[in-house]
């Protein structure tokens, strides 16, 4: 086949790819055709490579878009977690959670521990894993979530189904317990948990043990019990007790001996005499 005829054929196939919305396949068709000729690929194997490249690019775009919509803070991954600094974190359990089976089964995850031990990092990292595994995820700090829920308080339930905090496969709620909710907020939180019960997964991070949660939810033990009943029915609990990441540099500075301040010139002259 002449080079000119080959070019015409490639252009024709590329145009058909564009009609089918296989845009990346159209762009890389010439490159893949050269690889196929060099590697002596069969037509079926060549077609497989073209489709594989298209799927890879679409998946990259899907992940990038989903991460942007999720509200997840950037740069938090399991691979970037400092396991040596926080050896008490259950790495095996977290790597099992990273398979996202808990999302498929609409189960929950609760991270508990003092501030700064990596709860938020790990919660976000699981959110990233969920998106890469094809699930939708949405992240809120509790204060921000309550602001949204208060704004939607009068919205009929049927219209709430389009809200990301309800229709995402995974909802991450960070910093539960840093401030108490009033009764109206606690009721809105209960409505959210009830709506997602056995339909979508929730990851929560909290600096308080669940026995202290009534003080978070308007000191209402009955309401708190109802919330916990739904959250803890299908739950994976991760306790992390250790040093704070944010304070480790300060710890190092505090351990250093103080630098002696320079003496004035007059004092140095007197000491020499």
Kindly state the tokens that stand for 265.
């010139």
C-alpha dihedral over 55, 58, 63, 65, to 10 degrees? -170
Confidence of residue 264 (pLDDT cuts 50, 70, 90): low
Report DSSP letters for 43-54, one per residue. HHHHHHHHHHHH
Query: What CA–CA distance (Å, rounded) separates 146 from 132?
Result: 27
Per residue in 203-248, pLDDT (tens digit) is: 999 999 999 999 999 999 999 999 999 999 999 999 998 777 666 6
Which of left, alpha, beta for 100 (phi over 0: left; psi -120 to 50: alpha)? Answer: left
pTM: 0.81
- pLDDT over 80 at 2, yes or no: no
Contact present, 164 and 201 (Cβ < 8 Å) = no
pLDDT at 253: 56
Domains of the chain: 3-70 (no CATH), 91-251 (3.40.50.300)
Q: Residue 174 in 3-state DSSP?
A: strand
- The arrangement of strands across the sheet holding 137-141 comes to 137-141, 170-176, 201-206, 108-112, 235-239
Say what the pLDDT of residue 33 is. 85
Helix (H) or strand (E) holding 189: helix 183-196
Cβ–Cβ < 8 Å for 208, 112: yes
* pLDDT, tens only, 90-114: 999 999 999 999 999 999 999 999 9
């Amino acid at each position: 086949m002449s080079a000119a005829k080959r070019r015409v054929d490639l252009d024709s196939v590329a145009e058909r790819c564009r009609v089918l919305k296989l845009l990346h396949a159209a762009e890389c068709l010439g490159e893949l055709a050269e690889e196929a000729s060099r590697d002596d690929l069969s037509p079926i194997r060549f077609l497989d490579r073209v489709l594989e490249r298209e799927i890879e690019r679409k998946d990259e775009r899907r992940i990038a878009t989903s991460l942007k919509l999720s509200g997840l803070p950037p740069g938090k991954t399991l691979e970037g977690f400092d396991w040596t600094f926080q050896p008490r974190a259950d790495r095996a359990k977290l790597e099992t959670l990273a398979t996202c089976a808990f999302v498929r089964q609409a189960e929950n995850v609760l991270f508990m521990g003092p501030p700064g031990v990596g709860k938020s990092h790990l919660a976000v990292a699981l959110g990233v894993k969920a998106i890469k595994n094809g699930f939708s995820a949405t992240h809120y700090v509790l204060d921000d979530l309550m602001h949204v829920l208060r704004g939607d308080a009068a919205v009929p339930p049927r219209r709430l189904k389009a809200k990301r905090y309800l229709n995402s496969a995974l909802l991450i709620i960070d910093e539960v317990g840093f401030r108490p909710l009033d009764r109206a907020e606690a009721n809105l939180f209960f409505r959210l948990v009830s709506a997602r019960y056995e339909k979508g997964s929730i990851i929560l991070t909290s600096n308080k043990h669940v026995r202290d949660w009534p003080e978070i939810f308007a000191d209402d033990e009955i309401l708190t019990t109802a919330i916990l009943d739904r959250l803890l029915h299908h739950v994976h609990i991760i306790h992390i007790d250790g040093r704070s990441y944010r304070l480790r540099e300060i710890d190092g500075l505090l351990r250093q001996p103080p630098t002696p301040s320079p003496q004035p010139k007059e004092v140095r002259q007197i000491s020499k005499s």
